[in-house]
Amino acid sequence: MKERRKAKRIKDINEVTLTVISGGKKIPTGKSFYNYSGDISVTGAKIQANILLPVDTLLKMDFTLKTLQKQITALGKVKWVKVIIEDEYYEAGVEFIDTPGDAIKKIKDYISNYKKNKHVHMPFWIFAKFNEPKSK
């Protein structure tokens, strides 16, 4: 499969609230869903969701990026969908459209700092296990 991404993505899980603007016939417009992004770039993100988002669905996405204290709002259009577990778990590729320049700059800065600091994110229980005090 030919790579069509316009920008490099970082694999980083962040909370995202999705609000359907239009295009989802089975999804009510204006309804918000709480999900996660699986990766992100300045041009788009992979969304992990518990609802099927049809291709061409327009979304308002409110990201909570780990190292930023503010929420970023972006508009996006679903470009592809992958069923992971039928009626339970889906992935969707979302391209950012008509997103304000300041939001794109914040995402760009986040990606730049992520690469600089070479973050390694892991579930808390794994972190806790490897950082337990050593018994004497």
- Reported as a single tens digit per residue, the pLDDT across 25-47 is 677 677 777 787 888 888 999 99
Summary mean pLDDT of the chain: 77
Domain coordinates in residue numbering, the chain: 10-130
Contacts of 30 (CB under 8 A, 6+ apart): 19, 20
Mean pLDDT is lowest, of 14-23, 31-40, 75-84, for 31-40
pLDDT tens digit sequence for 106-132: 888 888 877 655 544 444 444 444 455
User: For the whole model, what pTM was predicted?
Assistant: 0.72
Which CATH architecture does the domain made up of 10-130 adopt?
Beta Barrel (2.40)
Between 28 and 90, residue with greater pLDDT: 90
Do residues 68 and 106 make contact, with C-beta atoms less than 8 angstroms apart? Answer: yes
CA quadruple 29, 99, 33, 44: dihedral, nearest 10:
120
In this prediction, residue 89 carries a pLDDT of: 86
Q: Could you write out the DSSP letters of every residue in 1-32?
A: -----SS--EEEEEEEEEEEEE--TTS-TT-E
